[in-house]
Structure formats: C-alpha cells, structure tokens
Structure 1
Amino acid sequence: MQKSSIELSCRCNLFTSITLGSIFLALPVSSLAQDQYTHAISVASIADHTKGDGFVPSFGANLKYSPVFDGSKEYGIEVQGGGALQYRSGKNLFFLEGFNIDGAELGWRSMVNTNWLVQAGVRHETVLPSGDLEAGNIEGIPHRGSAVFGFVEGNYLFGNNNRSWLTGRLSAGPSDFGYRVKISVGHTFVSSSRRSLDLLAYTTFGDEEQFDRYFGISAAESLSSGYNQTDFDGGYRSSGVALLFRQNLFRNMQLVAKVGVEAYGDEIEKSALVTETTDVTGGLSLLWCF
C-alpha cells in the first residue's frame, strides 16, 4: 500500500493502540431516529448501507495507523479517501468496496437463511510497494506488483439473536499467489439501528507461494539486498484480535473505528523483511451514504 505524504514513522507499542481505541470509542455522537428499514445483511461487522432495493453510493475519508507493510517495525499515519457502491435486489447485495486500489473488493453477498451469510468476489492488493519498503528501511527488494484473486466466505450466525458468528474465508489466485485461509469467531456486544460493537478473534494460514509473495526473499533478491534467502513451507501464518465500533451520527453519516493486534507465527518470522512479529493497527473512518 503506497503511503501518502501525511506519514509518521514510529515504533509500535500496545499503549498506543489502546490510546487510539479509547479516543475513537469516546468520540461524541449525535442521536438518530430508529431506522425503519430492514437491511439485507444482518451481521453487524459487515456493512450494509441499503434501505431497500437499488443503488447506494457512499464516500468518505479514512485515518489509519499501521505498519508501513506487514511485519515492519516502522509505523505510519495515513489519510486517504474511501467509499463503496452497493446494489440491493431482494436478499442479494452486490458491492464494490474500497475505492483505493489496495484492498478493493468486487462481489456479492446474501443472507441465504437466518443463520448463514455467504459472499464471494474478487479482491485487489498491492504487494510491498517500493515506497513502503523505503519507509520500512528495506533496500534492494523490488516492488512485488499487484495481486488479483478470488475469495469465497461463509458466516454462520448463532447464539442469542444471532450475535455470535463463525467465519471461514478462502482466497486463491494465480500460481504465484497461492492461497490463504482465514478462520474467525466473533460476538456483537452492542447492536441497534444507531451503533454496534464487535469483538473478533482470527487465525490465518497459507501455502508456500502465498508466504513467498508477501514475505519471501528470492536468491536474486538476496544477492541484490544482502538479506538471507527465505524458504517457506507454508502452514500457520498468524493470529489476532480486533475491536470494531460503528456509530450512525446522522441519517446518512456513519463513523467506524477499529483497533487490532496480529501476531505472526514462527514460519513468517524466518523472513528478514519481518522486523516486528506483532502488528498493532488503529483506524477511523467517516462515511456519507446517499
């Protein structure tokens, strides 16, 4: 992900994450009349801006505190635009989410019954852009380009008012991308027409190609950079926790705050690119829906 000119390099610490989260969750909010519409998606952690059939565009701004790339000890604060375009037809929701190139998704999701949400689509990610490598003080490693890959995801809702869920996502692409798997479990502590608060824990896995694409150092790169060549076996990648808060400020405006911690496994730690084995992130987004 290419960083904007508004960037601050600093070291990660848990106190910073907790402080950011406390500030986000303590922000004043305005009252909102009860929403008279029924959303197509009844999972609080997955955005549904629709109020019936048809198109709903949304635009906003994002403030993010995160490593300059996964596994880096150098951190940055980034400000960028954001948004989504959703189209609803009955129980089906088609979406383009993330107007920035990195992390953009195009796909479909639906509540196929009261307990199951499924979604599928394609996602685009930039892999180790040169600007991020420079910000992370990594030299001699070229930009890895972009990754376009497909994903399929199933969410099973259970518990009181379906406030808990178990999710599995499989992402797969070309041979140089490989595949990765993310399994998560979460619970919604607050859920209303005005706000929601979700806590989730997850673990991720990948094959050798996936690890090589994002963390590997080839023989040629080892010669040009001086870093040791990395050979991965695949398997366990990481585990983490995240806290997500949504608040409707006005009828068409939503505030989203998120903090998270992710710890990498021993296989990922083998890479010289990974200078910090625990990532801490914090984010704040303001979104207008039309």
Structure 2
Amino acid sequence: MRKFTGLLLALFIHALFLQTALAQEEKTALVPLPSIDDFTRGNDGWSFGLGLGVEYESAYEGSDEFGFEVQPAGAVQWRRGDDIFFWAGEALGWRGLRSDTWLLEAIVGFEEGREESDSDDGRLDGLGDTDEGFELALQARRAFDADWRYWLDGRIVTGENGSLGIFGVGRRFGERKDGSGSEFSIVAVFHDSDLANTEFGVDPMQAAASGLNETNLSGGFRAIGAHYNYRNYINDNWQIFGEVLYERYSSDIADSPIARNNYEAEVGVGVIYVF
C-alpha cells in the first residue's frame, strides 16, 4: 500500500511539472525577438497592448535638427496558431511563422510625407510638401535555427513616393522565449530614384523657390545602418522597451543640399500595458 501511495505521489508530481512546463510553453512568443510585438502570451484569440513611447529623432530625413516626440505604442492582435493579424497605429498587418525558422510579414500603412514646417530653421522653405499616402511593406526573416539566435532579414517597402529595400543580419541576446531581451542587427538600405528624389532631390522649380542647387539622384545604395532593440517584462502586464537606430548615408545622399547631416539617428524608450 505504501509503495502504491508513493507511486501515485510520483505520478502527481510528474503531472504537475508537466502542466507547468506546458503553461510556460504557451507563453512563448511567435518568435522570441524584442523587435516583434507579441501580446498573445502564446494563446489563440484576441490580445491588446497599450502604451506610450518617447523618441528623440531628426526632424526629417537628413536633418540636423533633433527633437522629442511622444507617440502611442501597442497594438490589437488576433492569433490563431502560428499566424497573428494586428492593427498598430496607422498600420494593418499579418505575420506568420513557417517551419519554425521563417517569419513572413505583410503590412499596409500610412506614409506621412514631409512638410516645409518640419524644419524650424526654415531649411525646407521653397521645397513644398511631399505627398501623403499608403505604403505596402513585405518582410521575410530566416533564422539559422529554431532558437532564433541568428537570422537574415529582407524587407521591401513601396508607396506613392517610391520604394525602399532593406537587407540585413541580426543577433539575439538572452535566453527567454517570451520576446524579452535584446537584439542587434546590421542592415544595408537601398532605394529607387523616385524615393531618392522625393526625399533628397531638388527639381528646377524647387531650386528657384528655395535657392538650393538643383539635384537629381539615381536609385541604388542609400545607407548602412545598425539597429538595437530591447524589451523587458516588469510583471505579467507591464513591459518596457527601447531602441537605438543609426544609419550612415552614402556619398550621393550626403552631398544633397537637403541632407544637413551624413547620418540619421534615433533613440526611443517606452512602456506598454498588456491587457
């Protein structure tokens, strides 16, 4: 009888640890990368995160004027298995995990454009405003293994003002699978002539109105960049995040009269409450 009771106790303890392990597994993120918002805790159905972020960034592409900007953070997400559909700010999207090592993503978002008033020093006067419009972003990340310690990244962003291509390699730090920790990536950025001239070109009419030299750019290499992301969970509901972005422009972009700097930089921090 004592042996039978001991056997039942051992089976109960084993089942308890198995349930705990399964519960922990359910809380793993779709992919354990801090740059990918995942509020689902590994569960199917609806999830919601809401917060605020503060960014210190350039006023426009190539600007030497920097300032703080407060932006909402978070998203509404719906998960089913290895697929998440989400609404985040001005973007609607889908991301899905395939074969444990492929992360695919498609996003339809809104491009704000550039206004002359973006420069407090009047350095955009006479250039006019660039058009606002929708843009489509397609992304694929390929991990070297299911642990997502290293990965390759490819993105294409296309809109009314032109197209952008980003290709890079990344490294994840930390051991947890819930999306906390940090990551670092190095990317090469390319753009077509439409986007290059929208952001850094000066046509004859703009040159006459602004006094800047007429500038016509071709597509190709735009910048080499580095990106760092961090995310940590304070408790079951609160999380903090941060990022640092630096891009060094190519010589063609740096020589544009619109580019007051030969680089672009951004630092951001924020908090999110997960419901």
Q: TM-score range by the shorter chain?
A: 0.7 to 0.9
The runs of 5 or more residues in structure 1 that have no matched partner are: 1-32
Alignment partners' CA distance in 2, 1:80 and 1:119: 23
Residue number in structure 2 paired with 1:231: 216
SS at match of 1:222: helix
Q: Please state how far the C-alpha of 1:260 moved relative to its aligned partner.
A: 2.2
Residue number in structure 2 paired with 1:148: 134
The more displaced of 186-195 and 53-62 is 186-195
Q: Please state how far the C-alpha of 1:160 moved relative to its aligned partner.
A: 7.9
Alignment partners' CA distance in 2, 1:45 and 1:83: 12
Contact 1:268 1:274 in 2 (8 A): yes
Please point out which of 112, 118, 139 is paired with 2:125. Answer: 139
| Change in CA separation of 1:136 and 1:80 when aligned onto 2, cut-off 3 Å | farther
| Change in CA separation of 1:64 and 1:35 when aligned onto 2, cut-off 3 Å | farther
Residue 190 of structure 1 aligns to which amino acid in structure 2?
G
Please point out which of 81, 85, 105 is paired with 1:90. Answer: 81
Residue 231 of structure 1 aligns to which amino acid in structure 2?
N
Residue 211 of structure 1 aligns to which amino acid in structure 2?
A
Q: Please state how far the C-alpha of 1:272 moved relative to its aligned partner.
A: 1.0
Residue number in structure 2 paired with 1:75: 66
**Structure label with greater radius of gyration:** 2
Residue 41 of structure 1 aligns to which amino acid in structure 2?
V
Residue number in structure 1 paired with 2:156: 170
Q: Please state how far the C-alpha of 1:245 moved relative to its aligned partner.
A: 0.8
Residue number in structure 2 paired with 1:181: 165
Q: Please state how far the C-alpha of 1:159 moved relative to its aligned partner.
A: 4.9
| Change in CA separation of 1:66 and 1:150 when aligned onto 2, cut-off 3 Å | same
In angstroms, what is the RMSD of aligned CA positions?
2.0
| Change in CA separation of 1:85 and 1:160 when aligned onto 2, cut-off 3 Å | closer
Alignment partners' CA distance in 1, 2:232 and 2:128: 41
Number of residue-to-residue matches in the alignment = 251
The runs of 5 or more residues in structure 2 that have no matched partner are: 1-22
Please point out which of 256, 269, 276 is paired with 2:241. Answer: 256
Residue number in structure 1 paired with 2:19: none
**Residues 51-62 of structure 1 mapped to structure 2, 5 A cutoff:** 51=41, 52-62=43-53
Alignment partners' CA distance in 2, 1:119 and 1:242: 19
**Residues 173-212 of structure 1 mapped to structure 2, 5 A cutoff:** 173-174=159-160, 177-192=161-176, 193=178, 195-212=180-197
The more displaced of 180-189 and 52-61 is 52-61
Alignment partners' CA distance in 2, 1:284 and 1:205: 27
Q: Please state how far the C-alpha of 1:239 moved relative to its aligned partner.
A: 0.9
With the length of structure 1 as denominator, give the TM-score of the two structures: 0.81
Residue 273 of structure 1 aligns to which amino acid in structure 2?
I
* % identical equivalent positions: 28
Residue number in structure 1 paired with 2:259: 274
SS at match of 1:134: coil
Q: Please state how far the C-alpha of 1:135 moved relative to its aligned partner.
A: 5.1
| Change in CA separation of 1:191 and 1:106 when aligned onto 2, cut-off 3 Å | farther
Q: Please state how far the C-alpha of 1:195 moved relative to its aligned partner.
A: 2.7
Residue 210 of structure 2 aligns to which amino acid in structure 1?
S
**Residues 30-69 of structure 1 mapped to structure 2, 5 A cutoff:** 36-51=26-41, 52-69=43-60
